[in-house]
Structure 1
Amino acid sequence: MILDKLQNAPRYYTLHPLFEQAFRFLKETDLTALPIGQQAIVGRDLFAIISEGTGTTEKDAKLEVHRKYIDIQYIVSGTDHMGWKDLAQCSAPSDPYTEERDAAFFPDKTRNWFDVPAGSFTIFYPDDAHAAMVTEETVRKVVLKIAVN
């Protein structure tokens, strides 16, 4: 898991062949003008999910993981409160993995909570169980999905 500001994105370009293009999309696109929903960038290898709204509470938050995609979650406005736990420390999923949604959900709770303000991003790999949108504040965000392979 990585937490940083968009201005530091070049540090991470070498971590995946599509990271430079992903971060360039965040820097060069008017993210406030994008409609809510999905936007293709490089077919199904790199795409964006734009959302805006409020979230849930820490008590109700569910940790999730993905197998096919790495998440870069960038906060456009507001502050997202997120949680993290190493997948190796999670119990069996309460909602098992399905390929269609590329997600499994866990009943586990975490003590690792942090705020991600506007202008910042997180990177979650397949071994990073994470809970996002744990906030009562309205948050606009872009989740970039980057194919692992």
Structure 2
Amino acid sequence: MIFGQIKHKNDETLSQGVRAALDFARTHDLAAFELGKHEIDGDDLFVNVVEYETTSPQDRFWEAHRDYLDVHVPLRGDEQIDLNFLTNMAVKDYEKAADFVSMDGGKNASIVMAPGDFLVCDPQDAHRTAVAVDGKPERIKKAIFKVKIEQ
């Protein structure tokens, strides 16, 4: 996983797809985008703009992905994302059509995401999103870039 700020352009060590996602985030007003999927480079790179209420960790689920990297970019509001590694989790079935792996387990770390931040989650990174910061629910809007992993 990689946690950073969009304004820092030290992208040399990032994959081409992640660099393209961050460049798109820097050059577009994502907060003005309608909710839903927006293609950037076909199935290789797209962004899902979502809005939801943060809540308690007990009301959320763990996930990971195999075919796509996630690049989380908050647009409005703060969100806690809990993190762990798949090797520490009880991994369940993989849903290929949704590129979704669910699992059970506890957190290893948490980060608080605010507008201007980004988080890259690799296939080995379990993440639990939409956790309320300090237990205070908040309506947030964010962009989740999906970057196809070269197989």
Which of 95, 98, 103 is matched with 1:101 structurally? 98
Paired residues of 1:62 and 1:109 also in contact (CA < 8 A) = no
> Match for 2:119 among 96, 99, 122?
122
With normalisation by structure 1, the TM-score equals 0.92
Per-residue CA deviations over 1:19-41 (Å, capped at 9, x if unaligned) read 22211110111112100000000
Please, which of 112, 122, 134 is the counterpart of residue 109 of structure 2?
A: 112
Specify the alignment match of 1:139 in structure 2. 140
Counterpart of 2:2, as a letter, is: I
- Contact kept in structure 2, 1:62 and 1:108, CA below 8 Å: no
Q: Find the aligned partners of 1:126 and 1:115 in 2 and give their Cα distance.
A: 21
Counterpart amino acid of residue 148 in structure 1: I
Per the TM alignment, residue 13 of structure 1 is displaced from its structure 2 partner at its CA by 4.3
User: What residue is the counterpart of 1:78 in the other structure?
Assistant: 77
Q: Contact 2:18/2:71 (CA < 8 Å) preserved in 1? A: no
Change (3 A) 1:25 1:17: same
* Consecutive unaligned residues in structure 1, runs of 5 or more: none
- In the TM superposition, 1:1-149 aligns within 5 A as 1-8=1-8, 10-93=9-92, 96-135=93-132, 136-149=137-150
Q: Secondary structure at the match of 2:58?
A: coil
The 4+ residue runs of structure 1 with deviation greater than 6 A are none
Residue type at the aligned position of 1:28: T
In the comparison of the two structures, how many residue pairs are matched? Answer: 146
Deviation, structure 1 residue 114: 1.9
Does the aligned pair in 1 maintain the 2:91–2:102 contact within 8 Å? Answer: no
What secondary structure is seen at the aligned counterpart in 1 of 2:24? helix
Percent identity over the alignment is: 25
| Distance in 1 of aligned mates of 2:30 and 2:73 | 10
Normalising by structure 2, what TM-score?
Answer: 0.91
- Are the structure 2 counterparts of residues 132 and 146 from structure 1 closer, same or farther at C-alpha, using a change threshold of 3 Å? same
SS at match of 1:92: strand
In 2, Cα distance between equivalents of 1:102 and 1:27: 26
SS where residue 32 of structure 2 aligns?
A: coil
**What do you get for the CA RMSD once the two structures are aligned?**
1.3
